[in-house]
Structure 1
Amino acid sequence: MAGEHGGGRRGGESRDPPAAPVRVLQSLRVKICEAKNLLPYPGPNKMRDCFCTVNLDQEEIFRTNVVEKSLNPFYGEDFYFEIPRMFHSLSFYIYDKSLLQRDLRIGKVAIKREELCRFYGKEPWFPLQPIDSNSEVQGKVHLELKLNELITDNGSVQQLMVHIVECEGLPLVNGQSCDPYASVSLVGPSRNDQKKTKVKKKTSNPQFNEKFYFEVTRSSSYTKKSQFQVEEEDIEKLEVRVDLWNNGNLAQDVFLGEIRIPVRVLRNDSSHQAWYWLLPKDNGSKSSKYDDLGSLRLSICYTEDYVLPSDCYCPLKTLMMKSPDIKPITASAAFILGEICRDKNDAILPLVRLLLHHQKLVLFVTTIAQLDLNDTQEANTIFRGNSLATRCMDETMKIVGNHYLKVTLKNVIDEICESPKPCEIDPNRLREGDSIDNHKDNLRYYVDKVFSCIVKSSMSCPTVMCDLFSSLRHMAVRHFPNDRHVQYSAVSSFVFLRFFAVAVVSPHIFHLRSHHPDAQTSRVLTLISKTIQTLGSVGSLSKSKTSSFKEPFMCEFYKMFEEETYTADVKKFLEEISSTESKEPSGMSESVILKEGEMYKRAQGRTRIGKKGFNKRWFSLSSREFAYHKQKGETCLVCNREVTTCCQLFLFFFLCFLSPYSFYDQGL
């Protein structure tokens, strides 16, 4: 590639500066649709409680909700992920949830990275494959092979040198980095010479750098009859086999993968050096009946974007920056880009980030929102479509409103998820002995608590969101001057319908929770979200609010909230967040958690045999400090408050969280 070499020297000319490298940005958008015909559970109750995980190599990056008592679970969950590293395969695992034991893996779908493009924009059914130790192989090994001919007093002897240089990307074993070693064998019809490397401790990328020598005996004479025939026959039947193992100490060693290389591919006195992907044992020799395990329907969109140096995009950037001032707005570059892209999310997210950074987002969104208003005939359908304006608003609220959600809802969401009270009010879902009145009281307690947190949070609402809400509110009033509720519905259709209600029902998407809630908690959050969404409608519907519910039991439950105080609180809240008056951003004065999670920290100064070299710790990076704790919620062990430029450090720590195999605490 041109980017890998500098310019050549010509005569007396100075060397041209090297070309800037081209970055490759990988992204993955997946929809986990449904599974069917899963293997029944042995016993009288054949149903299973299943969930699905998405794994990059063997690192889990997403999991769905648990679907209870079904062999044909429907998930319907979308997931977007920006991939920070190279990977070999993308895998999907179906688990059977267990309360007392370890979750049981039923089957998996594994797709190599180079094959992902075949499924772009499709929703095929993938047969589930069985899971065993061989199917979990990952990583690669760097080898150097050389075949030399030696002349001795006894005849011709060929010597094979096998150099085990290093390995990369070996899997975790029991959640920790493995203790790998390599077994090197020269295998033939009548021989199996085996040698081993030293064990490397606690690493997924061992550096072996060990050489092994094997002798291949030849004919003792140099007659024309035997010399070449014997060599060719011997070479044809020999192969080098390299097996990777995890040293189990007192337990059984765990197989990590193997490679096989025929010696016949080597030439005398020439070195053969290459990386090899590790493979399972007897790869391709066994056929499995995958259909017996069931199937999984997936939509996979894997994208590789080649990014040039930023200077190359200056003309495009200038064109985009002029978009808010173009008349009509439909002729602007930003609008056209948002309309012509096959996947609008690919255009809207970078567009919002660019305009937001240069403080032109409010003007652009306001202008394109006017197009929506021009096509809206009834006030009760205002901003309910999926247009460019509403999509830009959605992305803006996700970007600038993340901290707002955390200071507003995280504590109450944690309370609901960690100790959920029974809240089922659907008579068809109640179990024997359940009290629907008690469940209604529990649900009302949660709704009141969430509602109170929301309507008291106006001072924490980000300025950009307030400016957008203010513009939308005044535009709606001008367009529907005779509707006294439209000023509220223009704002509530975003802040309640597309922001708070979505965050309540899917807290993991907005990083309010690290994992998808279980089925019972998810049901509680769904009922809360439905009620909050209706409470926020503020009478914009000409008919009764209870008629907006499809379920009769929700209509009955909502009658508990028909007091005028709820409507008054919502109106007051919507007026405050759509006001242009300056207010003190009290929420931003608090420490903002940028990222938190578990990593492995190397323990320093330990030399005793048997002492663990790595400990699992809970790390937290905020706008003020970087700290770690023994467990989440416990007293801080080490805290660095000298973080003055968190923005510069954030990328480093973020990448550490994405690959939490080891972390060194030197300098903290």
Structure 2
Amino acid sequence: MAERSSLFIRIVEGKNLPAKDINGSSDPYCIVKIDDETIIRTATVWKTLSPFWGEEYKVHLPPNFHSVSFYVMDEDALSRDDVIGKVCLTRNVLAEHPKGYNGWMNLTEIDPDEEVQGEIHLRIEIINTDVPRKVRCTVFEARDLARKDRNGASDPFVRVQYNSKVQESSVVKKSCYPRWNEAFEFDLEETITEKLSIEVWDWDLVSRNDFLGKVLINLNALQTTLHEEGWFRLSPGKSTANIDEGNLGSLQLQVRLRDETVLPSEYYKPLVQLLCQEVKDSYKEKSIKLISLIDDTTSAECRQEVATNLVKLFLGQGIAKEYLDLLFRLELDKTNEPNTLFRSNSLASKSMESFLKVAGTQYLHSVVGLTINRIFEEKKYVELDPSKVEIKEAGCSSLHRIQTESDLIQQSAQYLQSYLTDLLTAITKSVKLCPATIRATFRQLYKRVEECFPENKHMNVKFIAVTSFLCLRFFSPAIMSPKLFHLREKHADARTSRTLLLLAKAIQNVGNMDAPASRAKESWMAPLQPTIQQGVLQLKEFIIKLIDIEEKEELDLQRALNLQSPTVKEGQLMIYKTKGKGYLLASSFKKLFITLTHDALNFAKTSYSKKSSFIPLSRIRALEKVEEKCFGNSNVMQIIYTDETENLGALYLQCKCVNELNQWLSALRKVCVNNTEMLCSYHPGVFKGDKWSCCHQKDKAGAGCDKTRHEVTLQEWNDLLDPDLEAQLIFRHLLGVRELMKEKYVQWAEQANKETPILHSEPQLKDNASQLFQILHDLEAAHNSLTVFSNVDDKEKKYLLEL
């Protein structure tokens, strides 16, 4: 059994932000912190006080996190970025909104006394042997304190207060991981009324000391146990009134917390087997399906999530193609008008959309990546709509003449024709790049639509069925918003965004097989008509080649794919290595091309070079961030691994930005999830000279001063499949619509009996439905029993589960 939490985050937009630049505007972006650790940075939206981001993220994290904070920043090229304001949502607030928090929130001013982080290790004892009784507070160490000084650290000391008496510890210089090992004693009053206060401060020579956090201990609670020891989370001080609240603008957010208790695999086997059998038996007879029951009882707002979970579940079982084929047939049975085929947001459409993202992200990047990069680099002014043409954007075409509207449109058409031609060429050459599973699924779709609409007047329908997914739901959205598909690190500016939109429209027209309705809708796209018509012919030829795949070829391609240990992530990074006693300085770094597979982390000089070295994933022991002060860069991570002699070594990777850093950390953590010897603690600094830069320990092999964070990962479409989690998510959804499914089944059965008194398939559906409802009942009972025993230790819990 595993407890898992995930946060769905959508940062929509901001409004009424204050101007931070001298031009009366700002360049805003958002930083997302979970328990004071930066996880996400949005792209910067330039020169606006009402930015739109529309960025979505899903973060897996430990169930015991405390809060998620959103900081709106103003990017500055020459100085440190300004903080505009923040929004903080605690775990308790999110738990009160099971369907998610969705709305506008006012930004609040940053209060330094509220910006605390970290934990402190204490032991509190009540000593009854002395007269008067005493309370002893032993302060051992602290970790992950806030960085208050310019050197990227703090100079912390502890102030212990009881009943107006105060004692202070020594100051530990330049450390966010200080060790004191000091004890403080106070005489206790006969009646304990005061709390023991432990405050951590950053010592400053010139200015006033900075508050780092505090812990309040209720001594009355120690009357029975007489002592308490452990790590205590530092809390903020007394918050001052935020006089600027409401005047700093606001942020529109969608945040949903989901806690899942994932049971052992055997609990989900009946549910998975029933759904798989449903898919496999769907070819035997034409009948009402459980999948139809799920489709009809799933609301529009959660259909995408349910579709994704089902696709991943069936991918893990190796029958995703069969599942999608079942959905194709169900959709075709309900459709008489070919022009509306797969245009609704049905379970079939959403499942196919999810399938393409899960199975085809690398294919998408290889097809559209070069054209999108070219558009970003060239930054051409492109506009075909006469009502939106701006002459001033073009400037002078020569020293003597300003370009006319006609000149601009003609020039724009040439640019777009060039981009469209490049993109269509990339698509037509991508048959072998397309994953075998996708090709086989499109073959089934093409075949089913051809069987349903065999007439000559519908000869384009089978092509449009394929392009409605490939072009309209896959290529076009990625072209319009490349940042959201990880094709670019930043959002496009207004000019580039317009070019991308026009190109996406052109691809949609090609995907619609140049339908008359598309031409009539936006007649100003006419200059692209020859290229679009040529593209239709190219796309038809491409689809015929794409679906020309036999079962044997599909299996051979799949086996080859499995043998190749597919790439999880790759890219060029700066590599730092440790050597001898100390750390090699920046002059020793190397730029290498790194490839992460399911087996190893490989290094080479370029993407085309032979691999020069590698680290087997089985030897990795920790994957964590490094303190900024170590390298003068905040985007450095470390890989702690064992060498051939079983000694620990460290490798440091420098990334371009915090997003790239977290993506690499996330990818590595996910492929190492089954490593059994991962470390529980690590050093966020480096061993320099004769001590660790973080906690000043002199034992190089000593235990780390901070806890590792293996659980924190970002969800990507190409994540490894997690069958138990997908089964749990499907169970949770079905449990929520169970009563609705029962009602719907009764309605269908009554309708079927009216139309056909003897319905041969109905008993089978009844049997399947009964099985499903019984499985849901059993899983619900298992969850309830585990909730009762949630406080039992792990060994006993395992024993109870086995019973």
Which TM-score band (shorter chain)?
A: 0.7 to 0.9
* Structure 1 match to 2:506: 531
For residues 390 and 529 of structure 1, do their structure 2 counterparts lie closer, same or farther at Cα, with a shift above 3 Å needed?
same
Does 2:87 align with 1:113?
no
Give the number of equivalent residue pairs: 609
CA contact (8 A) 2:4 2:259 kept: yes
Are residue 430 (structure 1) and residue 409 (structure 2) matched? no
Do the aligned residues in 2 keep the contact of 1:33 with 1:76 (CA within 8 Å)? Answer: yes
Cα distance, 1:189 vs. partner? 7.2
CA contact (8 A) 2:26 2:49 kept: yes
Structure 2 contact 307–351 (Cα < 8 Å) conserved: yes
2-side partners of 1:636 and 1:166: how far apart?
Answer: 47
Is 1:640 the equivalent of 2:596? no
Which residue does 1:580 correspond to in 2? 549
- Give the aligned partner of residue 196 of structure 1: 170
- Asked if the contact 2:137–2:183 (Cα under 8 Å) also holds between the matched residues in 1, the reply is yes
Aligned 8 A contact 2:3 2:63 in 1: no
Q: Is the 8 A contact 2:603 2:613 kept in 1?
A: no
Give the residue type in structure 2 aligned to 1:258.
K
SS of the residue aligned with 2:10? Answer: strand
What's the secondary structure of 1:143's corresponding residue?
strand
Partner Cα separation in structure 1 for residue 359 and residue 298 of structure 2: 24
CA 404–292 in structure 1, closer or farther in 2 if over 3 Å, else same: same
Rounded to whole Å, the distance in 1 between the matches of 2:30 and 2:138 is: 41
Paired with 2:422 and 2:204, the residues of 1 have a C-alpha distance of 51
Does residue 80 of structure 1 match 2:58? yes
- 1:225 aligned partner: none
Structure whose residues are more often helix by fraction: 2
- Distance 1:190-1:249 versus aligned 2 partners, 3 A rule: closer
Which of residues 424, 432, 436 is equivalent to 1:451?
424
Q: Which amino acid aligns with 2:450?
A: V
Alpha-carbon distance in 2 for matches of 1:366, 1:175: 60
Work out which of the residue numbers 331, 347, 355 in structure 1 matches 2:306: 347
Residue from 313, 320, 343 that aligns with 2:275? 320
> What is the alpha-carbon distance in structure 2 between the residues aligned to residue 505 and residue 186 of structure 1?
57
| 1:294-341 deviations in Å (ceiling 9; x for gaps) | 222222221111101111111111111111114778754444445545
> 2:345 is matched with which residue: 386, 399, 413?
386
Q: Please say if 1:276 is aligned against 2:232.
A: yes
**In 2, are the aligned partners of 1:241 and 1:259 still within 8 Å (CA)?**
yes
1:213 to 174, 183, 188: 183
Report the counterpart of residue 71 of structure 2 in structure 1.
Answer: 93
Residues 521 and 665 (structure 1 numbering): CA distance in 2 closer, same or farther, change over 3 Å? farther
Q: Distance in 2 between matches of 1:666 and 1:424?
A: 57
Report if aligned partners of 2:413, 2:528 keep a CA contact under 8 Å in 1: no
Which one of 339, 350, 363 corresponds to residue 404 of structure 1? 363
Matches of 2:119 and 2:604, distance apart in 1? 34
Partners of 1:486 and 1:292 lie apart in 2 by: 55
Q: 1:92, CA displacement in angstroms?
A: 1.9
Distance 1:191 1:355, change over 3 A: closer
Report the more deviating stretch, 571-580 or 605-614.
Answer: 605-614
Q: Could you give the per-residue CA deviations for residues 272-310 of structure 1, whole angstroms, max 9, x where no partner exists?
A: 234432223x33354444111122222222111110111
Q: How has the CA–CA distance of structure 1 residues 523 and 478 changed in structure 2, closer, same or farther, with 3 Å as cutoff?
A: same
Query: Any idea what SS the aligned residue of 2:485 has?
Result: coil
> Residues 438 and 166 (structure 1 numbering): CA distance in 2 closer, same or farther, change over 3 Å?
farther
Q: Measure how far apart 1:489 and its partner are.
A: 0.3
Partner of 1:145: 124
Equivalent of residue 443 in structure 2, options 470, 475, 485: 470
User: 1:27 maps to what in 2?
Assistant: 6
Distance 1:638 1:248 in 2: 50
Give the equivalent residue in structure 1 for 2:578: 604
Deviation at 1:501, TM superposition (A): 1.5
CA distance in 2, matches of 1:393, 1:166: 53
CA distance in 1: counterparts of 2:182 and 2:588, whole angstroms:
31
Alignment CA distance shift 1:24-1:429 (3 Å): farther
Shift of residue 625, structure 1, vs aligned partner: 5.3
Aligned twin of 1:185:
159
Q: What amino acid is aligned across from residue 242 of structure 1 in structure 2?
A: E
Deviation at 1:426, TM superposition (A): 5.3
| C-alpha distance 568-82 of structure 1, shift in aligned 2 (>3 A) | same
Aligned-pair CA distance for 1:422:
3.9
* Partners of 1:651 and 1:384 in 2: CA distance: 48
Query: Contact 2:105/2:252 (CA < 8 Å) preserved in 1?
Result: yes
TM-score, length basis structure 2: 0.65
Q: What is the one-letter code of the residue matched to 2:91?
A: R
CA shift for structure 1 position 420: 3.9
8 Å CA contact 1:466, 1:578 repeated in 2: yes
Aligned to 1:16: none
Judge conservation of contact 1:63–1:516 (CA < 8 Å) in 2.
no
Range moving further from structure 2, 271-280 or 315-324: 271-280
Are 1:485 and 2:460 an aligned pair? yes
Match of 1:495 among 459, 467, 470: 470
Structure 1: any 5+ residue segments left out of the alignment? 1-21, 219-229
- Of 107, 126, 137, the residue aligned with 2:105 is 126
Deviation at 1:195, TM superposition (A): 0.5
Residue 524 of structure 1 and its aligned partner are, at CA, apart by: 3.4
Deviations 1:333-386 (A, max 9, x none): 444445545523443223212222323222221122122223333323221111
Change (3 A) 1:516 1:655: farther
> Aligned pair 1:241/2:216, yes or no?
no
In structure 2, give the amino acid aligned to 1:626.
L
Q: Deviations over 1:200-232 (max 9, x none)?
A: 86x7xx483x432334368xxxxxxxxxxx654
Structure-2 change in CA distance of 1:188 and 1:121 (3 Å): closer
- Please give the per-residue CA displacement for 1:378-414, whole angstroms capped at 9, x wherever unaligned: 3232211111111111111111112222333334434
Aligned residue type for 2:82: L
- Match of residue 664, structure 1, among 628, 640, 645: 640
Letter paired with 1:50 = P
- Structure 1 partner of 2:49: 71
In structure 2, C-alpha distance between the alignment counterparts of 1:94 and 1:639, rounded to whole Å: 43
Structure 2 residue aligned with 1:227: none
CA-atom RMSD in angstroms: 4.4
Which residue in 2 is equivalent to 1:510? 485
CA, structure 1 residues 181+641, in 2 after alignment: closer, same or farther (shift >3 Å)? same
Query: CA separation in 2, counterparts of 1:640 and 1:185?
Result: 50
State the structure with bigger RCO (CA 8 A, min sep 6), 1 or 2: 2
Name 1:309's counterpart in structure 2. 264
Alpha-carbon separation, structure 2, partners of 1:612 and 1:157: 59
Contact 1:142/1:165 (<8 A) preserved: yes
How far residue 485 of structure 1 moved from its aligned partner, in angstroms, is 0.8
Deviation, 1:115, is 1.8
Structure 1 distance, partners of 2:528, 2:134, is 84
Q: Which amino acid aligns with 1:79?
A: Y
Q: Note if contact 1:334-1:351 (Cα within 8 Å) is conserved in structure 2.
A: no
Residue of 239, 245, 264 corresponding to 1:290: 245
How far apart are 1:577 and its partner, in Å? 1.4
Change (3 A) 1:464 1:137: same
TM superposition shift of 1:484: 1.5
Contact 2:619 2:641 in 1 (8 A): no
Following superposition, the deviation at residue 94 of structure 1 comes to 2.3
* Local SS of the residue matching 2:109: coil
